[in-house]
Chains A and B, each alone.
Chain A
Amino acid sequence: MNKVMIWYGELLSQKSLIKRGLFFLTPGMLWLILFLILPGLILIVVSFAGRGAYGQLVWDFSLENYKRMLGFGIFGWTPDYLIILLRSIWVAVVTTVLSVLLSYPLCFFIAGKPERTRYLWLTIVIIPFWTNMVIRTYAWFLILAPEMPLAKIASWLKIISPGMPLYPSAFAVYLGMISMFLPFVALPLFSSIERLDWTLVEAAQDLYASNVRIFVHAILPQTLPGLSVGVILTLVPAMGMFVVPDLLGGAKYMLVGNLIQQQFGTSRDWAFGATISMCLMVLTMFSLYVYKRKSKGVELL
């Protein structure tokens, strides 16, 4: 076992190499195991516990929480939680699709700029990406306020009563979500579009392909790596989003994120909160599984 080997130009025994490697690995891995892996495992265990009268955990391992998630409560079957779950998936999908639709023109626009100014334009997309999500979300309050044109038009169309803001509403949630996640799609997509081989597009044009066919056969396959990264970077966090629905959706448009927050906050039902987190985790894993199958060898970071 203790054989001598050459590793990075150094002659040493395998045993001492492994010892040294473990020395490097241990601090970081120990930290991640203690504060990432273990808490994750505890969360799984807690999701099977119950809630005591004072919000403490009761160790009565049962599927009660999962049944409750599916709607089997004390008062018979209600689909409330399932609706929230499905709504979260729906909002995430709509957000992703619209972000993709808006990102393509944006990326073509930036890629068409001369090299000198291109990175300036790109920086303009990166800045919202890094701007705090609370600020970006509440900023919509101003745009949707009753004094602003959008709310005036809506009240003129009798959608809302005059003097009322356009939030909280589903519409506001979508606005907030798309503006939040659009850069998540646009930035990875741009890296693909920048490298696009335009000769293929020209070839398709020479062969009288329609614009739709040019996009589907000449552009889409080339941009798929960036697009799939963008989609997964949007879809997964969008399902767990909590700030946007909390500020712009209110109680009318709750998503899974709010539900989890509620359990750890006012309701003080950690076990049920853990259960909802597990459901979100399953959805995340499913999206990643589809992503892995569809796009082999595309790196996330």
Chain B
Amino acid sequence: MRKIRVLVNIVAVFTLFFLYLPLLAVAFFSVNNTKYGLVWKGFTLDWYIKLFHNELILQAAWNTLVLAVVSTIVSTLLGTVLAIGMDRFPWPRRMNTVLDMILHIPVIIPDIIFAAAMVVAFGFLRLLSSMFEPGLINMIIAHITFQTAFVALIVRSRLVSIGKDVEEAARDLHADTPYLLRRVLLPLLTPGIVAGAMLAFTLSLDDFIISFFTAGPDSVTLPLYIFAAVRRTVTPQIHALSTIVLLVTVIMVIGMERFTRNVQVN
């Protein structure tokens, strides 16, 4: 048994190493003072400074942020209302099953199928309005669609765990529906809504495939920019950009973990 424990630990450490080695390499070469090759030529922060003078990268960062913020706000609203509508009303069983299935579609199907469906759908919508040319609007619509499903699933699980007691008590005390929503249900739901919004935001920042299919020339986001760049050549500037994205991810993950853990403790 002791031998097995040692073996398990070795494999586990090797696995963690395997997960992190590429990422550490990116961070390492982002401060390497040479434009070409992978030989250590001394420490520099030049690549980071140059990032902030690169118009394209700044524009891409701005696009990424606009996309994530707008789609998160809309999808959190839609998803929360949808979750309440699904959980708090006496729908027949069959209808519940169908609604449940619809919510699970974006979770289950490969992104690329959804992206393909979006391309075709926007192709038809373009016949109606030039608003649907490939670009930021299309990306926002596509992101809202899959985020809404995720938000609704998370808020709904929170609704289930809240139960009906508090709402019944509020009704007994003659709370009308707007009052009940504002003073009872929404405060109780807040942790679920925030968790859903954070998930939606992260999903949007993280998404590559759906953005790749729906983006236009003026709506390049950071993942798209990095992808296009590394297909040509890999430069230290891209390492620097990726390292920043990586750090933002680390901060967000730690924030999310903290938040969900606090909610569980309370």
Contacts and interface: CB of A to CB of B under 8 A. Distances in A.
Contacts of B177: 20
Nearest to B123: A270
A130 B252 contact: yes
A94 to B, nearest CB: 16
Interface in A65-120: 102-103, 105-106, 108-110, 119
B8 interface: yes
A130 B109 contact: no
Contact of B108 (A42, A148, A257, A300): A300
A282 B88 CA distance: 34
Contacts of B230: 134, 138, 141, 247
Contacts of A242: 112, 209
Contact of A35 (B89, B142, B212): B142
A297 interface: no
Given A21-B91, A132-B206, A264 B119 contact: yes
A266 to B, nearest CB: 13
- Say whether chain A's binding surface is mostly helix, strand, loop, or mixed: helix
Contact of A135 (B121, B170, B226): B226
Given A42-B117, A128-B20, A36 B106 contact: yes
A260 B25 CA distance: 31
A36 B182 CA distance: 30
A297 to B, nearest CB: 14
Contact of A281 (B39, B109, B254, B261): B109
Contacts of A148: 38
B105 interface: yes
A179 B253 CA distance: 18
A243 to B, nearest CB: 6
B257 A126 contact: yes
Contact of B119 (A8, A205, A240, A270): A270
Contacts of A179: 18-19, 22
Contact of A132 (B144, B223, B250): B223
A261 B120 CA distance: 13
A40 interface: yes
A28 interface: yes
A24 B86 CA distance: 8
B61 interface: no
Contacts of B189: none
Interface stretch (B41-49, B52-60, B147-155): B147-155
A74 B149 CA distance: 43
Contacts of A123: 253-254, 257
B263 interface: no
Interface in B117-167: 117-121, 123-124, 141-142, 144-145, 148-150, 152-154, 164, 167
Contact of B90 (A7, A35, A141): A7
Interface in B224-252: 226-227, 230-231, 234, 238, 242, 245-246, 249-250, 252
A200 B79 CA distance: 43
A300 B154 CA distance: 12
B171 A8 contact: yes
A189 interface: no
A128 to B, nearest CB: 5
A48 interface: no
Contact of A261 (B108, B112, B117, B254): B112
The residue in B9, B23, B222 that gathers the most chain A C-beta atoms within 10 A of its C-beta is B23
Contacts of B186: none
B73 interface: no
A28 B155 CA distance: 13
A247 B231 contact: yes
Interface stretch (A154-162, A220-228, A272-280): A272-280
Nearest to A263: B116
Contacts of A142: 22, 25-26, 29, 38, 234
B11 A105 contact: yes
Contact of A17 (B89, B108, B213, B223): B89
Contact of B82 (A25, A39, A183, A247): A25
B140 to A, nearest CB: 11
A288 interface: yes
Given A260-B116, A274-B120, A145 B249 contact: no
Given A36-B149, A280-B112, 4 more contacts: A29-B85, A135-B245, A257-B110, A273-B116
6 contacts: A8-B167, A20-B177, A28-B152, A284-B110, A301-B104, A301-B107
Interface of A: 7-10, 17-18, 20-29, 31-32, 35-40, 42-43, 46, 102-103, 105-106, 108-110, 119, 123-128, 130-136, 138-143, 145, 147-148, 178-179, 182-183, 205, 211, 236-237, 239-243, 247, 257, 260-261, 264, 270, 273-274, 277, 280-281, 284, 288, 300-301
Interface of B: 1, 4, 7-9, 11-13, 15-16, 18-23, 25-26, 29, 37-39, 78-79, 81-82, 84-86, 88-91, 99, 102-114, 116-121, 123-124, 141-142, 144-145, 148-150, 152-154, 164, 167-172, 177, 202, 205-206, 208-209, 212-213, 222-223, 226-227, 230-231, 234, 238, 242, 245-246, 249-250, 252-254, 257, 261
